[in-house]
Structure 1
Amino acid sequence: MTELKINSLEDINSVAAEFIKLVGDKRIFAMHGAMGVGKTTFVKAICEEMGVQDTINSPTFAIVNEYHTAKEDIIYHFDFYRIDDVQEAFDFGYEDYFYSEAMCFIEWPEKIDSILPNDTIEVHFKEEADGSRSIRIL
């Protein structure tokens, strides 16, 4: 287990850069944490550090957003908050995303636990009493 800490928004990009180095060639990330803890903001920082030029926002209504890095890598950002049944992930063809070579950041992964790939990296966000965020990578 590795733990990172975001003390303020000013250092989120440097923490995102550290995260990228730590995870190496891992591709699937289950982002756990309460609403408003900073999961989407952290994914945005990761995308920025990887050279994404697109507008980066929450995929809450679209379920998935696709971003392209400066090196022409693809990043998929999922938000399963609004799905009611894992069948909805089957309906939009989750396999095409999860089993591609692209990075996949999955918010609300507990909604689709049964179909997450075995090599999924668990990332847990927590707001600390001082307002900072801790990120545990399992």
Structure 2
Amino acid sequence: MELTYTENEISEVATKVLKHSASKIFLFYGEMGVGKTTLINEIVKQLGVLQPASSPSFAIVNEYDLREGTAYHFDFYRINNLTEAFDIGFEDYLYSGNYIFIEWPEKIDPLLPKDATKIYIKTNPNRSRNIKIMPMR
């Protein structure tokens, strides 16, 4: 699925991301500042997050309590190797059965499950965004 949207339409896009994914694991690809965290914030809001989401750039992972369960939001921009992901117990999070949102997943590609949903975001010259939502194979 591909769409073009503006920031005013972020709520509808978040709904479509959730509706078009069979997985609870979401991989977000896109340049710095493209709106990955903004979209994740709206998705967890729709899942019933009890506190506002923020970028885990320095902490690597943020945990959000949901109405039902937990969501984990990873930002692997600052990691240098797979050992750092293992050191934070990434695999335990991955197989917890909870929602997982990962920014910069290309940094940990060998660790990613086959059933995750890939989300590509790109900025257009008019400041709208293109998003491509696809299951990982």
Tell me the TM-score normalized by structure 1.
0.92
Q: Is the 8 A contact 1:80 1:111 kept in 2?
A: yes
Distance 1:97 1:86 in 2: 15
1:135 correspondence with 2:131:
yes
1:4 correspondence with 2:15:
no
Residue segments in structure 2 that go unaligned for 5+ positions in a row: none
- Which residue of 78, 82, 86 maps to 1:82? 78
Tell me the TM-score normalized by structure 2.
0.92
Distance 1:42 1:95 in 2: 24
Corresponding residue pairs, total = 134
Residue segments in structure 1 that go unaligned for 5+ positions in a row: none
Cα distance, 1:57 vs. partner? 0.4
Distance 1:55 1:123 in 2: 21
Cα distance, 1:4 vs. partner? 2.7
Identity %: 48
Cα distance, 1:73 vs. partner? 2.1
- RMSD of equivalent CA atoms: 1.1
Partner of 1:43: 40
**Structure 1 consecutive aligned stretches of length 4 or more whose deviation exceeds 3 Å:** none
Moved more, 127-136 or 38-47: 127-136
Cα distance, 1:117 vs. partner? 1.1
